[in-house]
Structure 1
C-alpha cells in the first residue's frame, strides 16, 4: 500500500467538490478515485424519513464509476457552491488505519465564513492509494 498523508488526501478530496471547471473536476476525480469506485451517501434524516414512509427499507444513495461520481460531484457543486453560496473544507482530524482514512468536513458560508454544516467521511483505499469506496455521513 502506498503511503499517503491522510490530511493531504482529505484536503484533495474536499477540494474536488468545489472545482468549477468540468475538465479540471474530471481530472481530480480520476486522480483520486479508482475506476470502479463507489461513493455511498447516507442522506439527511428528513430524506431517510420520507423514504421510510414510502416503504423503502434501504435509503442509502450510491454512485459507482467515474461518470456517476463526476455527475454526483458536479450536481453538488451546482447546488451548494455555484448557487448556494457555500464551500467545503476538511477538518484537521484526518487519520489513517491501514487502507482506511477517516475525517470530518465542514460546510462553510462563502459570505460570512460561518460553518453551517458538515459531516464525516470514511475512505477505503486501493493498493495504489486511490479511493475505492467512500462512505459519506452528512450531519455526523
Structure 2
C-alpha cells in the first residue's frame, strides 16, 4: 500500500490536465486535507490543487518521480522525490511525509533537500 500511495501522490503532481488532476486529488485526499512545505501551505482540496498547478507553471516540462523506496509504519509514510526533466538529473530533491486516514491523504509535510541556487536556470 505505501508504494501505491506514493505512486498516486506523485501522479497527482504530474497530471497536467486540470480536470483530471482535480479528480485525482478528490479521490486521494480527505475532504479536510492539508499540505505544507517551505514554500506553500494549503488547507482543503481546492487549495492543494492550486499549489500543484502553481508548481507545474513554475517548472514546465519537469516531472516528479520517486527516488528510492517508500518507508512506512502505522498511518505514516515517507518518500524521497525528485523533480527533473523526463530523462535528466534532478533539479530539486525533496522529502514528503504522508499522513493517512482510511487509505487517503490527510496531511502532507514536504521538505526540500536540494534546490537550485538562486538565479540558476530551470
After TM superposition, the score normalised by the length of structure 1 is 0.76
For residue 58 of structure 2, the aligned residue among 79, 88, 93 is: 79
2:85 corresponding residue in structure 1: 109
| Residue 42 (structure 1) shift | 2.0
For residue 124 of structure 1, the aligned residue among 76, 95, 99 is: 99
CA deviation vs aligned residue, 1:55-96 (integer Å, no higher than 9, x gap) = xxxxxx31010111111111111221xx3x311111231011
Partners of 1:27 and 1:91 in 2: how far apart? 25
| Residue 115 (structure 1) shift | 2.1
What is the aligned residue count?
114
CA RMSD of aligned residues (A): 1.4
1:138 corresponding residue in structure 2: 112
Tell me, yes or no, if the aligned pair for 1:108 and 1:114 is still in contact at 8 Å.
yes
Question: Which sections of structure 2, spanning at least 5 residues, go unmatched?
Answer: 115-122
CA deviation vs aligned residue, 1:23-45 (integer Å, no higher than 9, x gap) = 100011011100111101123xx
After TM superposition, the score normalised by the length of structure 2 is 0.86
Larger radius of gyration: 1
Higher relative contact order (CA 8 A, sep 6+): 1
1:51 corresponding residue in structure 2: none
Question: Which sections of structure 1, spanning at least 5 residues, go unmatched?
Answer: 44-60
Tell me, yes or no, if the aligned pair for 1:88 and 1:107 is still in contact at 8 Å.
yes
2:18 corresponding residue in structure 1: 22
